Chain A
Amino acid sequence: MIVSLRNSYLKRRKTLKKSLLTVAAVLAAGMFSANAHAVDSTGCGLGSLAWRGQKGPIPQLLAVTTNGTFGNQTFGISSGTSGCDPHGRITGGTGSMALAFLENNMEQFAMDASAGHGETIDTLAGILNVDSEKLGEISKTNFATLFPSDNVDAVDVTVNLLALI
C-alpha cells in the first residue's frame, strides 16, 4: 500500500516537473501532425525493396529514424527493424551474412561492382574473406553475370557472387 502510494506520488511529481515543457511542444508538434507515424515492421532494406518492386514500405522506412518512432520489438529477441533478419544482428555463415548485407545495400553494391571499387566491395570482401582489390576486379569484369537484368533480386546476386569467387 505504502509503496503504491509512493509510486503514484512520484509519478505525479514527475508529471508536474515536465508540464511546462509539455505545453510548449504539444503546440509545436501538434501543428505538424504528419510524419510521426510509427511502424511495426519495415521490411528489408532499401535496395531489396526497390529491386523487388515493393514500393509501399518506403514511407514506413522514413518513419523509422525519427527519435521516438520504433516498432514494438524487444531487445535480444527481435530487436531492430529488419524483416530480413529477425534478430536485428549480423549473424550466421558467410552466405547468409552476404545475403543480409546485399538485401540492404543492393543499389550501392551495383554501382561499386560496376566501377570495380567502393565501400560495399570492401565490406563484402571482409564477409567473404577475400582480397577487396581482387573482389573489385572480379565484380567489374563479371558485372553482367552478377546483374543479368534490371529486376534481379538480392538472392540472385548473392548466388551469382558466391559462384564467382
Chain B
Amino acid sequence: MPIIVFLITILLSFSAWAQTEIYAQDSQWLALLHYQPQLISKDESTIDSDNFFLSPVGKYNPEAELAATIHLFEDTTDNDKKCLFPARYKWLKKKGLISKPFPKCEEWESFYDDIRPAGVTLLFTNAYMNNPASLFGHTLLRIDTARKGTQLLAHGANYGAFTGEQNGLLFAIYGLTGGYFGGFTVKPYYQIVNEYNNIENRDIWELNLNLSPEELDFTMAHLWEIGQTRTSYYFFTENCSYMLLELLDAVRPDLKLSQQFPVHAIPLDTFKAVASRPDFVKGINYRPSRQNKIIYRYKQMNSAQKEVYKDIIKNQNFDYRNLSEQEKAGVIETAYQYVQYQYVAEKLELGDYRKQSFKLLKERNSLGKNDNLKELTEGKNPLQAHESAQTGIGIGNHNGEMFQQINGRPAYTSLLDRSYGLLSGAEINFLNIAARHYDNSNKFVLQNLKIVGITSIFPVDFMFRPISYNIHAELNREMNPETEDEGYVFEIHGGAGGAYALTDNIKAYGFVNNHLGYGGFLPHNSYAGIGPEVGIYADYGKWRLLASAEKVFATSKFADKMKYNAGISFDLNKNMALQLNYKFNDNHGHNEEETMLNWQIFY
C-alpha cells in the first residue's frame, strides 16, 4: 500500500513537472523573465537582482522559476513577495496554472493609480553633441495618461545607470564594462520635456504604440516587476534602449525585438525596429527643442520684426516702434523664449533674467490673445534617416598606383552621409575599417582603422554660439617619404573651433587641431603636432560636399605637412550613395596624392 501511494505521488508530480516544462518554454514566460540565448550555454536572464528570482537557480532555469512562482501564488501567504510580480500573476492566471486571487497591494495599486495609464509611447531624443554618453540619442517610454489636461501629465519610464559621482573616464570604463547597475525610474513627462526640450535643446519624437487595454495593463504590471530590479548596465549592449525592447517583448513576445540587437543597441536603430513591427504603431508626433522653436519663429518674422527682436535680445532696448499688435506679440514671445534659453545656458545673470522676463511678460499681457507667428510642428523624421551600419567598395589611385578598397563600419554617420533625420553637421564614426589591394605591388593591406571619429560643426550666429570640435583616434597605413618605409601610425588628433553659416546650406569652419602619433617605423617612433584647419561643409540634402586645408607643424619632419582634403557624395537612394574623395599632402616636397570613388550602402 505505501508503495502504491508512493508511485501515485511520483506519477502526479511527474505530470505536474511535464506540464511546467511545457509552459516554461512559452515565449511570454521566457520574455517575462528576460531569458536570452547565450553563445555557449543555456539561456540566462538579463536581470541581475537576486530578488527577481524565486528559485535559487531561476536566473538560468525557466522551469524551476515557473514552479517556484506557482508555489508562491498557490501555496504561500507571502503577500509582500506576491505584490512584486503582478505580471507573472496575470500570465499564470491566463494559462490556468493558478487559481488563488491576487492579494491587495497598496504600493503597486498607488503606482498604477498615480500613472493612470491610457497608452504607451516610445520616445526618441536626438543626439546631444555636448556629452559623449548622448551622441547616439536616447530612448525612453512614456506611459500616456488618462488624466484630464494634456500628456504633460503622463509619466516617462527611463532605464539608465545609477552612477553616483564619477569623472568622465571612470564613467566610460564603468559604463562599458558593466560596472554600473542600471534600473528604471519614473517621472512626470513635464520634467522630461523640460530636461530635453528646454535645457539640452534636443527634439523629442513620440511614437504612439498600438496596445490593447490588456497589453497596457500588462506593460504596467511588468514595469512594476522590473522596476524593483537591477541589471548590469552596458553602454553598447544592455543599455537604455535595449532594456525597453525586452520590456516590449514581454508584453507582446511576437515582436521579437531584443533578439534583433545581440551586439549593440543604437537608440535610433531600436526606434526604427519598433516602428517596423506590423500593427504596432499608431502615429508619430514631434516635440521640437526650444532652440528649434526659436529659430523657426525668427525665420517667419518680417524685417521690421527682426530688427526689433535683435534690438531687444542684444541691447535690451524694448522699443517696439510701429509694429502691429500681433507682430509685437510674435516678437515678445520669441524674445521671452530666448531669454529662458540664455538663463539655462548661464549666459544671463538671475537679476537680469528676471527683469527681462518680467518686462516681456507685462508687455505681452497688454496685447491681444494671438501673435502672427506659427509654432513649429513638423521636423525631419528620424525613422527616415539612413541606416547606421555602412559598407562600401571603391577604386582609386594613390600616387599613380591603382588600388581597390573595401570598407565598413557598424555605426553611425559621417558628414558626407545623408543627414535627413539626423543632425546635419554631426559626425559619429565607430570602428570604421578600410582594407586595400594595391595593383603594382599586388599586396592586400589594412589601410585605415578609425576607432572613433567625432566631428561637430554647428554655426555661430547672433543668437547661438556653439563650439565646433572634432576628435579622432585611428590607425593609418603611411609611408615615410624619406626612407620609403611603410608602416602603421596610431594617431589621436582633434581640436576645437567655430563655424559660420554662409547660407542655410553652406558652413565655413575653422579648428585648431592637436596631433599625437606613434609608429614603430618612424624616426623617434612618435611625434606631436599642431594644425590650424579651415574648411567648407555644404549639405544640400541629396548631395554634400566637404573640403578642408590644414597646415600641421610637427616635431617630426614626417608629420610636418600641408593637407588638402575634398569629398563629395551623391545619394542614389536613402541607403545608397556614391562618394568621390580627393586628397593631396605636401610633405617637404614629397607629395602624396590620392583619388577614390566609393560606392556605399547603409544597412
Contacts and interface: CB of A to CB of B under 8 A. Distances in A.
A41 interface: no
Given A50-B350, A89-B188, A114-B365, A76 B111 contact: yes
Return the 8 tightest CB-CB contacts between A and B, nearest first.
A126-B149, A33-B168, A29-B172, A80-B187, A126-B148, A75-B227, A38-B163, A150-B358
24 contacts: A13-B40, A21-B176, A25-B452, A28-B132, A35-B168, A38-B164, A50-B350, A55-B350, A65-B128, A65-B200, A65-B202, A67-B138, A68-B133, A70-B158, A71-B162, A74-B183, A76-B228, A90-B153, A101-B152, A111-B364, A115-B329, A116-B369, A126-B148, A143-B365
B131 interface: yes
Contact of A45 (B128, B183, B194, B367): B194
Interface in B176-234: 176-178, 180, 183-188, 190-191, 194-196, 198-200, 202, 224, 227-228, 233-234
Interface string A52-82: 0101001101101111111111111001111
A150 B355 contact: yes
B14 to A, nearest CB: 26
A117 B369 CA distance: 7
Contacts, number: 285
A129 interface: yes
A165 interface: no
B330 to A, nearest CB: 11
B452 A24 contact: yes
Contacts of B202: 65
B175 to A, nearest CB: 5
Contacts of A27: 451-452, 473, 492
B148 A104 contact: no
B584 to A, nearest CB: 28
Contact of A75 (B166, B178, B228, B237): B228
B187 A69 contact: no
Interface of A: 3, 6, 10, 13-15, 17-18, 21-38, 40, 45-46, 50-51, 53, 55, 58-59, 61-62, 64-76, 79-82, 85, 87-91, 100-101, 104-105, 107, 110-111, 114-117, 119-120, 122-127, 129, 136, 140, 143-144, 147, 149-151
Contacts of B176: 18, 21-22, 25-26
B91 interface: no
A84 to B, nearest CB: 10
Contacts of B41: 10
A37 B165 contact: yes
B323 interface: no
Given A28-B454, A105-B194, 12 more contacts: A21-B264, A22-B176, A24-B431, A24-B451, A25-B236, A35-B130, A37-B167, A45-B194, A65-B134, A65-B200, A75-B227, A89-B187
Contacts of B483: none
Contacts of A71: 162
Contacts of A67: 133-134, 138, 160-161, 235, 239-240
Contacts of B26: none
Contacts of B454: 28
A99 B44 CA distance: 45
B257 to A, nearest CB: 19
Given A36-B171, A123-B149, A129-B148, A70 B160 contact: yes
Contacts of A122: 149-150
A33 B162 contact: no
B173 interface: yes
B79 to A, nearest CB: 16
Contacts of B130: 35
Nearest to B158: A70
Q: Name the residue in B115, B130, B132, B431 with the highest tally of chain A Cβ atoms < 10 Å from its Cβ.
A: B132
Interface stretch (B308-316, B336-344, B379-387, B439-447): B336-344
B61 to A, nearest CB: 11
A80 B194 CA distance: 14
A87 B188 CA distance: 10
Main secondary structure of the interface of B (DSSP, over half): mixed
B175 A68 contact: yes
Contact of A88 (B183, B186, B239): B186
A151 B354 contact: yes
A68 B451 contact: no
Contact of A140 (B173, B369, B371): B369
A26 to B, nearest CB: 5
Interface string B448-471: 000110100000000000000001
Contacts of A53: 350
Contacts of A64: 195
B166 to A, nearest CB: 6
Nearest to B149: A126
B357 interface: yes
Contacts of B364: 111, 114-115
A117 B371 CA distance: 11
B114 interface: yes
Given A25-B236, A66-B134, A140-B365, A105 B114 contact: no
Contacts of A31: 471, 473, 492, 494
A62 B200 contact: yes
A59 B130 CA distance: 13
A105 B358 CA distance: 15
A63 to B, nearest CB: 8
B155 interface: yes
Nearest to B192: A65
B169 A33 contact: yes
A111 B452 contact: no
A134 to B, nearest CB: 13
Contacts of A151: 354
Q: Name the residue in B171, B175, B180, B329 with the highest tally of chain A Cβ atoms < 10 Å from its Cβ.
A: B171
B502 interface: no
Given A29-B168, A29-B172, A75-B183, A90 B155 contact: yes
Nearest to A143: B365
A50 B342 CA distance: 12
B430 interface: yes
A104 B44 contact: no
A81 B156 CA distance: 12
Contact of A72 (B164, B357, B473): B164
B482 interface: no
Contacts of B110: 91
Nearest to B232: A14
A87 B111 CA distance: 9
A62 B191 CA distance: 12
A74 to B, nearest CB: 7
A90 B114 contact: yes
Contacts of B486: none
Nearest to A52: B350
A82 to B, nearest CB: 6
Given A25-B172, A31-B471, A90-B153, A80 B237 contact: no
A61 B199 contact: yes
